[in-house]
Amino acid sequence: MKHLRKRVSYFVFLIGLLAGGLLAQRSFREYPSVEYGSHLPLPSDWNRSGEWTFARLMFPPGPLDGYRGRFDGPWQQGLSLWTQDYPRADRAMANAVRRLTNIDARSVEQPVNLDDGDEIYNWPWIYAVQVGEWGLTEKQAKKLRDYLLRGGFFMADDCHGSQEQAYFEKTMKMVFPERDLVDIPNDDPIFHTFFDLEDRFQVPGAEHLGTGHKKDGYIAHWKGIYDDKHRVMVAFSLNSDLGDSWEFLDDSRYPSRFSVLGTEIGVNYVIYAMTH
């Protein structure tokens, strides 16, 4: 599945893999993380291919990036904002997809750089953390637009408060100047592809369990950008931290109800991306 030239169903995707599409995908590489360094053990089956892979978007720091100046070296080599929750959240979500669905998810994640040729087109579902603090460039925005219009799906997460929201919306206008982020209605298929998720609530990060929110992000919103056929291309979780809900899925100190909802949303987004 080298290029997303049109929207593909999960079944077509699976057939493509069986035909050898996995050969087009770049081999796994782990980068040092701001939280875990390079010390998180690999799963025993890390080198086995799967039908679906948790692809994480790499990006440069932006003006609101709280890590600016705290880490040396280029963002392309890790130890940057894009590695927040990585790789523990990625692997927990991949494991949940394995357990809860019939999709054979790869046990390890795939960091993807928009500046890296056509690599983005190998991954039909991609995730980015703390998108209110990223530094998406014009060149990257153009590539992201093409990827999404070809059938790709982008899950944007962990953006909190009015300032971060405004900055993320500004950067998405570089991607789609003609399209707006809008509230996804409860009856949209994205909330009913696997789990019925009409009753959604705010999912705080582990550091904000005491207040239930971060900055002035008091209310959770589930927003999206649609294509001309009313397919969700961008699913944006505002004022919630779904990455933390995956990262601390097996940590008793993090409330299970947040991890349950966060996992169900993630699974729905994966299934939706592969079938719409």
Tell me the percentage of the chain whose pLDDT exceeds 90: 86
Q: What is the pLDDT of residue 80?
A: 94
The residues, any chain, with a CB within 8 Å of residue 3's CB and separated by 6 or more, are 118, 121, 150
Q: What is the pLDDT of residue 39?
A: 80
Torsion of CA 218, 204, 96, 252, to 10 degrees: -150
pLDDT in tens, 22-70: 445 568 999 999 999 988 899 999 999 999 999 999 999 999 998 876 7
Residue 109 has pLDDT above 80, yes or no: yes
Architecture of the CATH domain 48-275: 3-Layer(aba) Sandwich (3.40)
Residue 18 has pLDDT above 50, yes or no: no
Residue 105 has pLDDT above 80, yes or no: yes
Residue of 132 and 21 predicted with greater confidence: 132
Q: What is the pLDDT of residue 25?
A: 57
pLDDT in tens, 167-214: 999 999 999 999 999 999 999 999 999 999 999 999 999 999 999 999
Domains of the chain, by residue range, sit at 48-275
Confidence of residue 19 (pLDDT cuts 50, 70, 90): very low
DSSP for the chain? -----S---HHHHHHHHHTTGGGGSPPP----BTTTBT-SPPPTTTTS--SB--EEEE--B-TT-TTTTTS-S-GGGSSSGGGTTTTHHHHHHHHHHHHHSS--B-SS-EEEETTSTTGGGG-SEEEES-TTSB---HHHHHHHHHHHHTT-EEEEEEE-HHHHHHHHHHHHHHH-TT---EEPPTTSGGGTSSS---S------GGGTTTSSBTTB-S-EEEEEE-TTS-EEEEEEET--HHHHHHTTT-TTS-HHHHHHHHHHHHHHHHHHHH-
Instruction: Report CA Rg, the chain.
Output: 17
| CA-to-CA separations, 21 to 14, 37, 52, 116, in angstroms, rounded | 9, 32, 12, 19
Q: What is the pLDDT of residue 11?
A: 38
For the residues 121-126, what does the mean pLDDT come to?
A: 97
Residue 5 has pLDDT above 70, yes or no: no
Residue 7 has pLDDT above 70, yes or no: no
Token readout for 30 is 């782990």
Residue 111 has pLDDT above 50, yes or no: yes
pLDDT in tens, 237-265: 999 999 999 999 999 999 999 999 999 99
pLDDT in tens, 71-102: 768 999 999 999 999 999 999 999 999 999 99
Residue 234 has pLDDT above 60, yes or no: yes
Confidence of residue 6 (pLDDT cuts 50, 70, 90): very low
